[in-house]
Amino acid sequence: AQKITQTQPGMFVQEKEAVTLDCTYDTSDQSYGLFWYKQPSSGEMIFLIYQGSYDEQNATEGRYSLNFQKARKSANLVISASQLGDSAMYFCAMREGARSNYQLIWGAGTKLIIKP
Amino acid sequence: EAQVTQNPRYLITVTGKKLTVTCSQNMNHEYMSWYRQDPGLGLRQIYYSMNVEVTDKGDVPEGYKVSRKEKRNFPLILESPSPNQTSLYFCASSRDRVGGYTFGSGTRLTVV
């Protein structure tokens, strides 16, 4: 079974609009962490935002926020006021607390294209 | 600047010719890991290291070796590369269990 599911293979969004990228996860651990990364066409992997399973507030980092709904096991990334430079692949990832190897489990990614 | 440095960025090699991809971090992180990224398969962990001289297999370790003789360095070794190891490789490091992961810029390897 997929541990991280990103249901949107690709999205087109008009510049300056807000964007929500979906991510659902599956774990039986009580302690886990959720991450979002951005991968531009140049290939590097850029850390965006982190949410811990025990964090009561939704994480925010500048224009990025994470809509964490624990009961639904979803961790959607919201980008406010999108910019052309936001065009990239976006990956959701999870680190489970019970695993001792610090491994990140990755979703398949969403390709976001911002239209001018 | 805190970073993970991988070299080379691009490499084309022939089947069977041993190669090493270097990875170095300047953040004194204990944890380091290697991933490969393939279209449709996402990122998969190859090997990881919890500290100096402590390494273990990830999900796809076949055909790879690693070593961790110093805290800052974690090279990936392909003793006899094959075309199915053509991929984009990432090295990553983390301070601890709850910290974010810092990735290197990636190494695009082609084995012909």
- Residues B53-105: tens digit of each pLDDT: 999 999 899 999 999 999 999 999 999 999 999 999 999 998 876 667 899 99
Q: Which residue of B has its CA nearest to A5?
A: B42
Q: Which residue of B has its CA nearest to A48?
A: B100
A12, A9, A35, A7: which is closest to A86 by C-alpha?
Answer: A12
Q: Measure B14 CA to nearest chain A CA, in Å.
A: 23
Distance CA B61, CA A52 (A): 29
- Chain B environment of A102 (Cβ under 8 Å): 31, 33, 48, 50, 94, 97
Q: Which residue of A has its CA nearest to B59?
A: A103
Q: What is the pLDDT of residue A31?
A: 86
> Measured between CB atoms, does B43 come within 8 Å of chain A?
yes
Q: What secondary structure does DSSP assign to A10-62, as a single string?
A: EEEEETTS-EEE--EE----SSEEEEEEEE-TT---EEEEEEETT-SSPPEET
Task: Report which of residues A95 and A101 the model is more confident about.
Answer: A95
Span A19-30, pLDDT tens digits: 999 999 999 888
Of A33, A44, A107, the CB nearest to B42: A107
Which residue type does A101 have?
A: N
B96 backbone dihedrals φ, ψ, rounded to 5°:
-160, -170
A43: left (phi over 0), alpha (psi -120 to 50) or beta: left
Distance CA A17, CA A80 (A): 7
Structure tokens, A42 = 């140049």
Q: What is the pLDDT of residue B39?
A: 85
Span A41-52, pLDDT tens digits: 988 899 999 999
Q: Measure B16 CA to nearest chain A CA, in Å.
A: 26
> Measured between CB atoms, does B27 come within 8 Å of chain A?
no
Residue with tokens 């991510």: A23
pLDDT band at residue A100 under the 50/70/90 scheme: low
pLDDT band at residue B35 under the 50/70/90 scheme: very high
